[in-house]
Amino acid sequence: MSRRRVEEAALQRIERLFSLAEEAYHERPALAQRYVDLARRIAMRARLSLPREFRRRVCRRCGAFLVPGSSSRVRVRQRREPHVSITCLKCGRIYRIPLGRG
């Protein structure tokens, strides 16, 4: 398989796993976490970084599936540069995402 095909196949599986995780999270958070772990392993094996939309859903320190209002706290901050802060409620790691100017 070509590199491109490998990437495409991996991305499709990752997308699928994240949507399954999303669906499962409320009733079965441990299962949702397994889907996310699997998605990360697939990305690693294909040597892809997770697409941006998914990167923000996983804690880079502890690997927890970050669900706003449940396993993560999301706040918009205006101090200095406006940014969103995402706190992993499992390990306490804080991520800052700049909102840019405007």
Of 10, 14, 32, 88, the residue at the interface with Zn ion (CB under 5 A) is 88
Question: Number of residues in contact with Zn ion, rule: CB under 5 A?
Answer: 8
How far apart are CB 59 and Zn ion at their closest, in Å?
A: 3
Q: What is the β-pairing status of strands 94-98 and 83-88?
A: antiparallel
Binding mask 12-31 for Zn ion (x = CB under 5 A): --------------------
Cβ atoms of 62 and 37 within 8 Å: the answer is: no
The span of 4-12, 34-42, 49-57, 64-72 binding Zn ion (CB under 5 A) equals 64-72
Q: Which two tokens stand for residue 7?
A: 């990437």
Task: Select from 87, 85, 89, 56 the least CA-distant residue to 99.
Answer: 85
